[in-house]
Chain A
Amino acid sequence: MNAPSITTAEQTQAVTRTFDLGAALKDSLRTALITLGLSIPILAYKTDQSGADLFLTPRWGLVAIICAIVFGLRMVLHAFTASRAYRQATPSAHQATEPVHAEPSAFQHVSKFAIPLFLGVALAFPLIIYLIQGGLNESRYWVDLGILILTYVMLGWGLNIVVGLAGLLDLGYVAFYAVGAYSYALLSTTFGLSFWICLPLAGILAAFWGMILGFPVLRLRGDYLAIVTLAFGEIIRLVLINWVDLTNGGAGISSIPRATFFGLPFTAGEGGFAQTFGLEFNGMHRIIFLYYLILVLALITNFVTMRLRKLPVGRAWEALREDEIACRSLGINTTNTKLTAFAIGAMFGGFAGSFFAVRQGFVSPESFNFLESAIILAIVVLGGMGSQIGVAIAAIVLVGGPEILRNLTFLQAIFGSGFDPNEYRLLLFGAGMVAMMVWRPRGLISEREPSVILKERKAISGSLVKEGHG
């Protein structure tokens, strides 16, 4: 039995040698230097003819950008080959006659630091931006972007309950977002109720509509369910447009009361937030308050989802996603299980909706079209169905990405001043989707964290596990 031991040694070597950062850096640097050498005669100087004279225009900035791109690509290549070598070295699950002691994957290594890091950055975000931008008013754009991203993180987490955990494909999630937004808008403008009373009401109303949607679709699965939910989303939007007496139709509802700091309005005058706390009045106080409000709402969504996963109802959702027939034969009431998934997912959509209304101060059916549903669903699917951190990353990429693209003005230095990177937004979006399909078809984070961990964490990469039905 000498020969097999050699292969095992090779295998273990390959496994431990996952990603040598030092070597990769060195190699990437060498590549960048070669690029630099090559680009001196090719790129560094441009000849401009003016009359009979020839002028040399130095273009060192361009050279630096090209070298940086080459360096980055080389690093990506290293990371990619390392992860592939790791994957190949891991024993196939189908031959696993011994318990599989899979090494934690790169993502699991990352997630150990990533979660506290994300949370820390999210908490300190307004402060960081304030320090970088050097003023409250200057940081408005970034805090607004943060609010937008967090709204989508929350919506993604809410939809994740329905799609990721319970496995019910919902294409009309934006309907509950709309129900939440209009609940707050109508209750506050008609009855003058405050945000803090309307918030739970909006959640309850959205959950109620979630159940209304749930009942007729209980028997459906897969494509059929998706089509009915898609129709439901459209119905809600069309009702909002056409029920002019109640919703003011396509013109929408404006002058919705702004959020108050637990009763203290964000106004300049007497009894306002700034005056009470002895601060100089600034409109940004409200924006930062909204930022923390949505952060807290999103974290509540996350916390509730994580808790529910450990409870029988959450386990039943996941089992339902895996195998409905087995669920029923184990005594699970699939009707109730589906309805709770729809209702709880919808409730968080409703919370997010009423936040949207209080932030905008204006709601109209325009904001709740199918594209919104598609983006939220894309966030869940790209993030990896059922993975909380994956959904958060996907929301940052999908919502923050286009905004960053808007600011990539240096690209104009390469492609000419008429170049608007934002025009290529959808192209890049599509390319990103295709790349995901090829390399990570189960989403950024495809590992499913067990809801119960015995002794030690021994999670196995999702790619080793045969996919379930549905």
Chain B
Amino acid sequence: MSTAGANIAMQSQVSPARQPLLSVRGVKTYYGNIIALKGVDMDVHEGEIVTLIGANGAGKSTLMMTIFGNPRAREGKITYAGQDITRTPTHEIARMSIAQSPEGRRIFPRMTVFENLQMGASLHNMAHFDQDLERVCTLFPRLKERLQQRGGTLSGGEQQMLAIARALMSRPKLLLLDEPSLGLAPLIVKQIFEIIKELNEKDGMTVFLVEQNAYHALKLAHRGYVMVTGNITMSGTGKDLLNDPQVRSAYLEGGHH
């Protein structure tokens, strides 16, 4: 895929005067001597769903982890709500109303669903725990039935729901989701994407979504970025990217939808 591809003009939706909630500027991340991100620029504005698509090994998850400070960006700058978080430790970033549902769900298998959710509420905002529990239980009724069950006994879809619910317990303004559709049945994927949409529309939550499932992700997102081997090669509205011939040939045709 060539980088000369149409760099679809965007930014029409959001006025340029507004500061982005999350901004990534020239970020380079290395694993040892191997460069994984080769200078990434990206913005997420408040109230948006932004998706990042790309092939395996493109650096999508690395970008998400870099935003969370693990691994740390060697060059460049990441700001969240006007604050420079490039050098902030991971656990402190997690307390700045950013929540992350990491790749591979990473729920606590021997702890109950309830305890998993308690962990998500983190250490300082237990005050409105009951309220938040109620809220995620309405979003994910299946979890409510299973509060006393161990995380490891849930099915894959339920575990993914738990991972998202756990991230929501900290009342985030910005939700980072890494491949929520991984290994799930199409029906469950649809459910999860509907919930993401609901969170965005009803609660105004900003969502940054890393996905392999390009079709669903672009359909859902306001804007999208395409990443190829550590570089952002394209960006645009979800709709534009969906209709872009290059995106279609690389990520959609022959794909699953």
Contacts and interface: CB of A to CB of B under 8 A. Distances in A.
Interface stretch (B25-33, B37-45, B75-83, B89-97): B89-97
Contacts of A464: 150, 153
B122 A331 contact: yes
Contacts of B115: 315, 318, 450-452
B155 A96 contact: yes
B94 A468 contact: no
Given A319-B119, A328-B70, A454-B148, A468 B91 contact: no
Nearest to B112: A450
B152 A330 contact: no
Interface stretch (B7-15, B99-107, B199-207, B236-244): B99-107
B68 A330 contact: no
B90 A328 contact: yes
A61 to B, nearest CB: 50
A328 B94 contact: yes
Contacts of A468: 108-110, 152
B147 interface: yes
A460 to B, nearest CB: 6
A333 interface: yes
A67 to B, nearest CB: 44
Contacts of B109: 322, 465-468
B62 interface: no
B145 interface: yes
A322 B123 contact: no
Interface string A67-98: 00000000000000000000000000110110
Given A318-B111, A332-B123, A96 B153 contact: yes
B95 A465 contact: no
Contact of A450 (B91, B114, B119, B145): B114
A315 B119 contact: yes
Contacts, number: 115
Given A93-B153, A450-B115, A462 B110 contact: yes
A422 interface: no
A326 interface: yes
A467 B109 CA distance: 7
Given A93-B153, A315-B118, A468-B152, A330 B166 contact: yes
A458 interface: yes
Contacts of B170: 330-331
Interface residues of A, number: 38
Contacts of B122: 330-332
Interface residues of B, number: 37
A130 B115 CA distance: 46
Nearest to B163: A326
B197 interface: no
Nearest to A466: B152
A467 B151 CA distance: 11
B147 A454 contact: yes
A99 B111 contact: no
Contacts of A38: none
Nearest to A452: B114
A312 interface: yes
A109 to B, nearest CB: 19
Contacts of A318: 108, 110-111, 115
A331 B155 contact: no
A329 B114 contact: no
Contact of B155 (A97, A448, A451): A97
A334 interface: yes
Interface in A443-470: 448, 450-455, 458, 460, 462, 464-468
A323 interface: yes
Nearest to B124: A331
A242 B120 CA distance: 49
A124 interface: no
B110 A100 contact: no
A2 B102 CA distance: 44
B219 interface: no
Contacts of A322: 108-111
Which residue, A318, A330, A458, A462, has most C-beta atoms of chain B within 10 A?
A: A330
A323 B205 CA distance: 27
B146 interface: yes
Nearest to A98: B145
B176 to A, nearest CB: 9
A452 B112 CA distance: 9
Given A315-B119, A325-B106, A452-B112, A330 B94 contact: yes
A442 to B, nearest CB: 10
Contacts of A328: 68, 70, 90-91, 94
A327 B95 CA distance: 12
A57 B166 CA distance: 76
A221 to B, nearest CB: 15
B119 A458 contact: no
A323 B159 CA distance: 14
A334 B123 CA distance: 13
A464 B154 CA distance: 11
B159 to A, nearest CB: 10
A292 B126 CA distance: 39
Contacts of B94: 328-332
Contacts of A329: 68, 90, 94, 100, 102, 106
Interface of A: 93-94, 96-97, 99-100, 312, 315-316, 318-319, 322-323, 325-334, 448, 450-455, 458, 460, 462, 464-468
Interface of B: 68, 70, 89-92, 94-95, 100, 102, 106-112, 114-115, 118-120, 122-123, 126, 145-150, 152-155, 166, 170
9 contacts: A99-B149, A323-B107, A328-B70, A330-B120, A330-B170, A331-B95, A448-B110, A458-B149, A466-B152
Given A326-B107, A326-B108, A465-B153, 19 more contacts: A100-B149, A312-B123, A315-B118, A319-B119, A322-B109, A322-B110, A328-B68, A328-B91, A330-B120, A331-B123, A332-B119, A451-B115, A452-B112, A452-B118, A464-B150, A465-B109, A467-B109, A468-B108, A468-B109
